[in-house]
Amino acid sequence: GQSLEQPSEVTAVEGAIVQINCTYQTSGFYGLSWYQQHDGGAPTFLSYNALDGLEETGRFSSFLSRSDSYGYLLLQELQMKDSASYFCATNSGGYQKVTFGTGTKLQVIP
Amino acid sequence: GAVVSQHPSWVICKSGTSVKIECRSLDFQATTMFWYRQFPKQSLMLMATSNEGSKATYEQGVEKDKFLINHASLTLSTLTVTSAHPEDSSFYICSASNRGGTQYFGPGTRLLVL
């Protein structure tokens, strides 16, 4: 089975940097994705790491260490609109089935 | 980018009735569609995977006779919650996968069973 653990809540100040961690136990690991979900909305794709290392996309970066079964999402220059839930996810199987992590609710405060 | 729609966006129904939710890929052909359920303050849980023209594959613990999934074409999948009860109230989200394996999520359908 698949299991992805994240901290449940994180609070950070506007303009700061925050890191959201994800540890996973999976079979048939293909890569780690990150999604953002605002209250009442659907998840939106942020990034994907298939290989070890850091992927940067604007203010967001994502890191993966396959040997440690660990990854993180780094958000820089935090803005109030970044307040949302963030989910790591793995995909597996021939149909690219996505399994979501427990989710981290990020609150950005002034 | 690719667009996936869901209809209705929200629905309120009486206990015991059936509710159908549609998921459409508007500008691409979806080889596979997925149905998720999300309870408040929880993560998305995969319910089933459906491929066009074949039976859906349900995750463990999901009743296939209660949650009927039909994937009649490459652009449409439907989820029918049969004999809905208050505990079925949830946020139902579909996603559609193109041939490259990229998933696009629909906006979700909020179901409230009274």
Q: Which of A39, A98, A104 to mutate to test the interface with B (most CBs of B within 10 A)?
A: A98
Q: What is the mean pLDDT of each run of 10 residues along chain A (110 residues)?
A: 91 97 88 92 90 94 95 97 96 72 96
Q: Nearest CA of chain A to the CA of B16: how many Å?
A: 26
Q: Do B49 and A97 touch (CB under 8 A)?
A: yes
Q: Do B43 and A102 touch (CB under 8 A)?
A: yes
Q: Which of residues 67-86 of B touch A (CB under 8 A)?
A: none
pLDDT tens, residue by residue, B13-61: 999 999 999 999 998 888 889 999 999 989 999 999 988 878 899 999 9
Cα–Cα–Cα angle for A48, A50, A52, nearest 5°?
Answer: 110
Q: What is the mean pLDDT of chain B?
A: 92
B15-35 burial, b if ≥16 CB within 10 A, otherwise e? eeeebebbbbbeebebbbbbb
**B5–A contact, CB cutoff 8 A:** no
**B43–A contact, CB cutoff 8 A:** yes
pLDDT of amino acid A19: 98
Which phi and psi angles does A82 have, rounded to 5°?
-75, -10
pLDDT of amino acid B112: 97
User: Chain A residue closest to B4 (CA)?
Assistant: A42
| Nearest of A97, A8, A71 to residue B42 by alpha carbon | A8
Residue B103: pLDDT band (50, 70, 90) is confident
